[in-house]
């Protein structure tokens, strides 16, 4: 996590000095509701998953193409992952996996006037994600005996690892802008198979709903 914070600070300084005259730099943060699509050739495991709440925050930048359209790249520290509960005979298992990514979406953004300094906006485009940290906690209760295991996520491409580091997909977003403030809702549809285990056609793809607030400097 410390490396992720350092990376965001470096990018913030670059944007400050590289685009100091620009008036379309902003900050964004909010709530993540994350889960996954997980299945193999035999069954769909994600039917037992529930959402894992977390946060996202980072920097936004817009390059105007005309009065209504712009290209809007962002760099965000984003919490993904999932939860699941499983019961079999006299054993109950619950797992909570939190994965932290640096996400870089690059979206095409359009605004429509709504009157009284209010606008409606929509945006869509691809994103690239890089896993930087993660923790998982699994709790098993058997005949009243509770065992809790916590561990750091192992990133890599071998079957002994937990998750592959590279994520990519498509983002859909929309919301309302009031002067410099944006209230938005977005959905990240992951295309990458981030499961390190690939036997029997195993796949795992991120799914994230974001509720956010952003401030655009100088709008």
**Tens-digit pLDDT profile for residues 66-92:** 888 999 999 999 999 999 887 777 788
Question: What pLDDT, on the 0 to 100 scale, is given for residue 198?
Answer: 92
Could you give the CA distance from residue 60 to residue 73 in angstroms, rounded to a whole number?
A: 6
- Residue 42, pLDDT > 80, answer yes
Is the predicted pLDDT of residue 22 greater than 60, yes or no? no
Global pTM value: 0.84
The reported pLDDT for the residue numbered 19 is: 47
pLDDT for 21 equals 46
What is the pLDDT confidence band of residue 20, given thresholds at 50, 70 and 90? very low
pLDDT in tens, 165-198: 999 999 999 999 998 899 999 999 999 999 999 9
Give the pLDDT of residue 126.
97
DSSP state of 64: E
Under the banding of pLDDT at 50, 70 and 90, the label for residue 9 is low
**What is the DSSP pairing of strand 91-115 with strand 118-142?**
antiparallel
> What is residue 21's three-state secondary structure?
coil
Rounded Cα gap, residues 41 and 26, in angstroms: 44
Terminal alpha carbon distance of the chain: 32
At 119, list the tokens. 């606008």
* Residue 207 φ/ψ, nearest 5 degrees: -135, 120
Q: What is the mean pLDDT of the chain?
A: 88
The pLDDT > 90 percentage for the chain reads 68
- Nearest-angstrom CA–CA distance, 81 and 133: 11
Which of 79, 124, 80, 120 has its CA nearest to residue 105? 124
- Domains annotated on the chain, with CATH: 2-216 (2.40.160)
What pLDDT does 160 receive? 87
Write the CB contacts of 198 (distance below 8 Å, at least 6 apart in sequence): 159
């Amino acid at each position: 996590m410390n490396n992720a914070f350092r990376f965001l600070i470096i990018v913030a300084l670059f944007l400050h000095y590289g685009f100091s005259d620009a008036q379309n730099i902003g900050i964004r943060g909010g709530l993540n509701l994350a889960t996954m699509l997980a299945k193999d050739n035999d069954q769909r495991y994600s039917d037992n998953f529930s959402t894992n709440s977390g946060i996202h925050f980072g920097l936004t930048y817009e390059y105007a193409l005309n009065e209504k359209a712009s290209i809007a790249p962002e760099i965000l520290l984003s919490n993904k992952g999932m939860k699941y509960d499983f019961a079999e005979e006299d054993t109950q298992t619950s797992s909570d996996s939190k994965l932290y990514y640096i996400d870089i979406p690059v979206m095409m953004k359009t605004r429509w006037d709504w009157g009284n300094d209010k606008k409606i906006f929509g945006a869509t485009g691809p994103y690239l994600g890089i896993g930087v940290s993660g923790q998982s906690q699994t709790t098993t209760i058997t005949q009243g005996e509770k065992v809790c295991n916590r561990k750091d996520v192992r990133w890599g491409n071998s079957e002994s690892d937990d998750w592959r580091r590279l994520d990519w997909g498509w983002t859909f977003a929309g919301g309302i802008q009031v002067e410099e403030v944006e209230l938005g809702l977005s959905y990240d549809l992951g295309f990458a198979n981030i499961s390190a285990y690939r036997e029997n056609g195993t796949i795992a793809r991120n799914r994230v709903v974001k509720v956010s607030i952003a401030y655009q400097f100088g709008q």
